[in-house]
Amino acid sequence: MKKFLKSLVVSILVFSASANAALITNGSFESLYDALGGEIDNLATIAEYTPGDGNRADYLSGLSAAGNWGIYDSLLGWDTIIPGIEVQYSGTVAIASEGNNYLELDTHTNLGTGTDDSNGGIFQFVTDLTVGEAYLLSFDYQGRLTNPDKILSNEMTVSWIGDSNTNNDVFNVSEVGTAARTWTTYTHSFVASDTTMKLQFAGSGTADSKGALLDNVSLSAVTIPEPSVISLMLLALCGIAIRKKS
């Protein structure tokens, strides 16, 4: 019976999620262009790259191969909390969970200034929401550092902030990284207190240039299927359960 009820709940949630379009722009950070199609400056190219690969601009060109990474002042759909967010190409530190790019939120935001290590973050205003309605956030997270003593370096804070800066929902995520570089998918339900809400991800651990990795962000309205739909799903699941039992 427990397995049956679990199947019912999962089926309803899957139906609810599939019935809603994603509300987030560029949730996998694949686009390095602005809303008008213009190329966004890679702030890292202004500093020389010292380990023998020429200048940093050549080393980072295009984010087209493992080992390429860059500092961007914004991404399509996203603004930065402080100037610069680090985008890494798949295979640089981890394999992207979706597409080719992912973010590191503890970053080298001030290259060449002597204050390289800073926790950064991104945010996006989600508009046309329904006040009082629930929305389901999903994202992939990975702690970069594998040393258990460094777990706080991997910490990330997720915030859901209303226009009036009230009824905010904030939670922290931190894990010890694994040698296998595996991602964990987190889901969290938010309620809209305003028609426009600010979704924010911020590095909140020790600023040491190694921290939270983020990819595959999505947000969908959570709708409960009509009673008739639930009844049909329940009958279908009952039929499956009976067939398995027989």
Q: Are residues 11 and 130 in the same domain?
A: no
Q: Are residues 159 and 205 in the same domain?
A: yes
Q: Are residues 170 and 235 in the same domain?
A: no
pLDDT greater at residue 165 or residue 43 = 165
Q: Are residues 206 and 237 in the same domain?
A: no
Model-level pTM?
Answer: 0.76
Could you count the other beta carbons within 10 Å of the beta carbon of residue 148?
Answer: 8
| Three-class SS of 33-90 | ECCCCCECCEHHHHCCCCCCCCCHHHHHHHHCCCCCEEEECEECCEEECCCCEEEEEC
Encode pLDDT of 97-118 as tens digits. Answer: 999 999 999 876 555 444 556 7
Name which of 62, 110, 124, 52 is nearest 87 in CA terms.
62
Amino acid at 36: L
d(CA 71, CA 197): 26
Name which of 214, 217, 172, 218 is nearest 87 in CA terms.
214
Q: Are residues 212 and 234 in the same domain?
A: no
Encode pLDDT of 221-244 as tens digits. Answer: 997 655 554 455 555 555 555 555
HSE-up (13 A, CA, CB side) for residue 120:
28
Q: Please return the burial class of 98, using the count of CB atoms within 10 Å of its CB with bins 0-12, 13-18 and 19+.
A: middle
Q: Given this model, what pLDDT does residue 110 score?
A: 54
Q: Given this model, what pLDDT does residue 167 score?
A: 67
Q: Given this model, what pLDDT does residue 2 score?
A: 47
Q: Please return the burial class of 138, using the count of CB atoms within 10 Å of its CB with bins 0-12, 13-18 and 19+.
A: middle
Q: Are residues 14 and 40 in the same domain?
A: no
- What's the domain count of the chain? 2
How is residue 209 annotated by DSSP?
Answer: S
Which domain range does residue 231 map to? 1-19+227-246
Q: Are residues 3 and 35 in the same domain?
A: no
Helix (H) or strand (E) holding 102: strand 101-104
Q: Are residues 92 and 113 in the same domain?
A: yes
Residue 29: phi and psi, rounded to 5, are 60, 35
User: pLDDT at residue 42 above 70?
Assistant: no
Q: Given this model, what pLDDT does residue 186 score?
A: 98
- Mean pLDDT calculated for residue range 162-176: 86
Encode pLDDT of 66-93 as tens digits. Answer: 887 877 777 889 998 887 788 888 999 9
For all residues of the chain together, what is the average pLDDT? 77
Choice among 6-10, 30-34, 165-169 with the minimum mean pLDDT: 6-10
What CATH number has the domain bearing residue 205?
Answer: 2.60.120.260
Strands, E assignment, the chain = 69-72, 74-75, 78-80, 85-89, 101-104, 106-108, 117-119, 121-126, 134-143, 156-162, 169-173, 184-191, 197-203, 212-221
Q: Are residues 128 and 191 in the same domain?
A: yes
d(CA 99, CA 136): 21
Contacts of 36 (CB under 8 A, 6+ apart): none
User: pLDDT at residue 58 above 80?
Assistant: no
Q: Are residues 56 and 149 in the same domain?
A: yes
Q: Given this model, what pLDDT does residue 31 score?
A: 81
Q: Given this model, what pLDDT does residue 112 score?
A: 44
